[in-house]
Amino acid sequence: MNVERLWRAIKKLEIRGAPAIGIAGALGILLAVKKSPAKTGKELAAELRRAAQYLASSRPTAVNLFWALERMECIAKQNIAKPVSEIRKALVGEALLIIDEDKKSCRAMARHGAQLVKTGDTILTHCNAGGLATADYGTALGVLFEAKKQGKRIKVYADETRPLLQGARLTTWELLHERIDTTLICDNMAASLMAKGRIDKIFVGADRIARNGDAANKIGTYSLAVLAGYHGVPFYVVAPLSTFDFTIKTGAGIPIEERDAEEVRTLMGKRIAPRDVKVYNPAFDVTPNALITAIVTERGVFRRPYTISLRKLIRLRKVRTGKK
Amino acid sequence: MNVERLWRAIKKLEIRGAPAIGIAGALGILLAVKKSPAKTGKELAAELRRAAQYLASSRPTAVNLFWALERMECIAKQNIAKPVSEIRKALVGEALLIIDEDKKSCRAMARHGAQLVKTGDTILTHCNAGGLATADYGTALGVLFEAKKQGKRIKVYADETRPLLQGARLTTWELLHERIDTTLICDNMAASLMAKGRIDKIFVGADRIARNGDAANKIGTYSLAVLAGYHGVPFYVVAPLSTFDFTIKTGAGIPIEERDAEEVRTLMGKRIAPRDVKVYNPAFDVTPNALITAIVTERGVFRRPYTISLRKLIRLRKVRTGKK
C-alpha cells in the first residue's frame, strides 16, 4: 500500500463513508511519512503537506477528510523542531487518536440517538452509515444497533441507494448481521411507504454539515427529507463533530462531487442505458436545516434553530483543536 | 405464439405500457378464437370468456387490459347468433379498431399536451410512456415528440426507473432517436434538480385513473408528484380514455401489483443484495388528484376539480362503449 493506492481506494469508493474517509486520510499521511527520506522536521512537514494536498484531491464533499489531514498537519507543525523519528511517533499517536475518537463518538451518537427510537418503530435509512463507514458502530446505523441492543423491537427499510447501491450491498448486510428485521426497497418506493403510514422515523448520516445545520449527504437524502416533511415523518441526521464545517455558513457553500456517467449507464459492468446518453450524476445533495428534525452527535441531540443550538459544538471544536 | 405465451409476455413485461397491454389483450383474444374448434357462437363466446379471464390474470393494475378484453367480449355477445366465421371477422375488426383508436388518441394527446410545453422548457419524465408502450407515439413522450416537431426547443431528464429501468433502457433510446436533448438520472436525483430550479414541468403516463382523477402509475411517480408540489413544478399526467376506470371512485380502489423480490435483489442477472433480505416491490403507486396539475387526454386537457371536469369523459365513454 502506498499513498497513490490509498488515493485510488478513496476515489473509487473502496473506502467510503465520511468518518472512514477521515481515518483513511490520517493513515495515508502515515504511509507518506513512513518511507520519507526527510532528514529534518521541516523537510518532513513539506512532504506531509504535499501528501495531504494530494489526498485531499480524492473526494471534495466529505469534510472529515480535510479535518483529519489538518489534524495531522498541525501535529507535524507543533513538533517541527523535534527529530524526524519523534515527529513520526507523534503522527502515529494522532492517527490512533482519530480512530479511537471515532470509535467513542460512534458509541456516544448511538446512545443519544437510541433515545429517539421507541419499541415498535419502523425506520427508514438511506445509503450506508454503519460500521463499514466508520471505525466502529456507524452513525445512523449505530443508533439502530444500539436501540436493538436495548431490547427495542424495530423494523428497518433500507433504500438501495442508486447508483452505487450502498444500501442494497452494505446496509442490508450490516442490519441482517445484527439480526434486525430488514426490508430492501428501491429509492423511489420510500414515498409510497410514507403515504401508507408505514415509516415512523428516518435516520441518515452526513458528509458535511454547515454552521446553520444544512447537511450534505448521499444523493437522494434531500428527496427523502422533503417527503418526510410532507408526510410528517421525523427526519434525523446522525454525524460526529468531525463532519461539521463551521467555516461554511450554509449548505450552498458545500462543494458537491459529480461522478462519472458510467456509474449510471452501467451497473456492475452491465450496460443499462445507451452509451451516448448524457448523465447527471451528483454524489450528494444538501438538505436544508428546516427539513431536519434533529441532528444527533456524540455531544447530544441538537434541534432547530441550529444557528443557535450548534454554537455549543463550535465552542467544543475550538477547545479540542485549538482552532475553529 | 399462443395465448399462454402472450400471457407470459405481459407478465414478464416483454409487452408493457398500459395502452400496449390493452392491445395485447385484444390480440390475445384473436389467438384464442383463431384455433378454436367451436361450432356455435355460444361455444366461441364461452371459449373467449375463458381466454379473457386467463389474460386478465396477467397483471392487475393497468385497466386498459380489462377494458380491451371487455370490448372483445361485447362484440362476441352482440354477434352470438351469427356463424362462427362471422364472429371471428367481427373480433378481428374490433381488435384493429382498438389499435387504430390508440394510434389516433396518441396523436390527439400529443397535440393537446404540446400546448402545455414552451420552447426552452426542461422536462422530467418517469418510466416509459412512449412508442414502446402504445401502438404509436406514446402518451407522455408523445407530447414531447410533438413539441419537438412543432419546433419547440426542449431538454428532457429521464428517470432511470428502478427496478426494471424502463427509463434508462427504453425512454432514453426513444428520446435520442427523436434527437431530443436527453439526460439520464437515477430516480433519487430528481429532487436535487428541482431544488436547483432546473425542471420546468413533469410529464408522466398512467396505468389507471379513478373517477376523481387519482392516478396509478409506475412506482416513483407519487414521489415525483410530492416533490413537484413542494418545488412548484407543474405535474401533468397523459393518458387516453381507455386508462380511466370510472367504476372506481378514488385511487384507494386501484389494485397495486407487487412483483417478485428478485427484481430488486438482482439486476440483469447480477446479485446486488443478500439473497435472504426481504424486499418490498410494488410496481405502481397512486398519485392523489390534488398533486396533479392537469390530465391530458385525447379529448383535451382536464383540470381540478376532476370530479366535475372528468364528467365529460364519463359521458363520452358511455356513448362509445354503450356502458360505463
pLDDT at B324: 41
Residue B72 to residues A65, B86, B150, B299, B316, Cα–Cα distance (Å): 66, 14, 37, 23, 19
Residue type at position B158: A
A268: confidence class by pLDDT, cuts 50, 70, 90: confident
Q: Does B259 touch chain A (CB under 8 A)?
A: no
Instruction: Select the residue of A192, A227, A264 nearest B184 (Cβ to Cβ).
Output: A264
Instruction: Select the residue of A172, A220, A277 nearest B184 (Cβ to Cβ).
Output: A277
Instruction: Select the residue of B182, B270, B274 nearest A173 (Cβ to Cβ).
Output: B274
| B154 neighbors B180 (Cβ within 8 angstroms) | yes
Size of interface A-B (CB pairs under 8 A): 175
Residues of B in contact with A190 (CB under 8 A): 223
φ/ψ of residue B20, rounded to 5: -65, -35
Evaluate the omega torsion of the peptide bond into residue A305 and state whether it is cis, within 30 degrees of 0: yes
Examine the pLDDT at A293 and tell me if it is beyond 60.
yes
Residues of B in contact with A252 (CB under 8 A): none
pLDDT at A137: 87
Residue B190 exposed, middle or buried by CB count within 10 Å (0-12, 13-18, 19+) = buried
pLDDT digits (tens, 9 = 90+) for A1-50: 899 999 999 999 999 999 999 999 999 999 999 989 999 999 999 999 99
Residue A156 to residues A85, A198, A199, B84, B274, Cα–Cα distance (Å): 49, 11, 9, 58, 15
Q: Does B276 touch chain A (CB under 8 A)?
A: yes
Under an 8 A CB cutoff, do A162 and B270 touch?
A: no
CA distance A165 to A162: 5
| B221 neighbors B287 (Cβ within 8 angstroms) | yes
pLDDT digits (tens, 9 = 90+) for A70-101: 999 999 999 999 999 999 999 999 999 999 99
Catalytic site residue B207? yes
Residues in chain A: 324
Q: Does B188 touch chain A (CB under 8 A)?
A: yes
Higher pLDDT, A235 or A324: A235
Q: What is the DSSP string of B204-254?
A: E--SEEETTS-EEEETTHHHHHHHHHHHT--EEEE--GGGEETT-SSGGGS
pLDDT at B320: 58
The C-alpha cell 462519472 sits at A260
Kindly state the helix (H) or strand (E) to which residue B108 belongs, with its residue range: helix B84-114
Mean pLDDT by 10 residues, chain B (324 residues): 94 94 96 93 96 96 95 96 97 97 96 98 97 90 98 98 97 97 98 98 97 98 98 98 96 97 92 97 98 97 96 80 48
Minimum distance, in Å, between the CA of residue A123 and any CA atom of chain B:
14
Under an 8 A CB cutoff, do A191 and B281 touch?
A: no
Instruction: Select the residue of A169, A188, A285 nearest B192 (Cβ to Cβ).
Output: A285
Residues of A in contact with B229 (CB under 8 A): 230
| A120 neighbors A201 (Cβ within 8 angstroms) | no
- Rg of chain A over CA atoms, in angstroms? 20
Under an 8 A CB cutoff, do A183 and B279 touch?
A: yes
3-state secondary structure A63-127: CHHHHHHHHHHHHHHHCCCCCHHHHHHHHHHHHHHHHHHHHHHHHHHHHHHHCCCCCCCEEEECC
Examine the pLDDT at A323 and tell me if it is beyond 90.
no
Q: Nine-digit cell at B2?
A: 399462443
Minimum distance, in Å, between the CA of residue A1 and any CA atom of chain B:
28
Under an 8 A CB cutoff, do A189 and B159 touch?
A: no
| B124 neighbors B202 (Cβ within 8 angstroms) | yes
Under an 8 A CB cutoff, do A191 and B222 touch?
A: yes
pLDDT digits (tens, 9 = 90+) for A39-63: 999 999 999 999 999 999 999 999 9
Q: How far is Cα of residue B127 from the mean position of the Cα atoms in its chain?
A: 10
pLDDT at A324: 40
Residue from A221, A223, A289 whose CB has the most chain B CBs within 10 Å, to mutate: A223
Minimum distance, in Å, between the CA of residue A281 and any CA atom of chain B:
7
Beta-carbon contacts of A52 under 8 Å, excluding residues fewer than 6 positions away, are A25, A29, A69, A70, A72, A73
DSSP state of B170: I
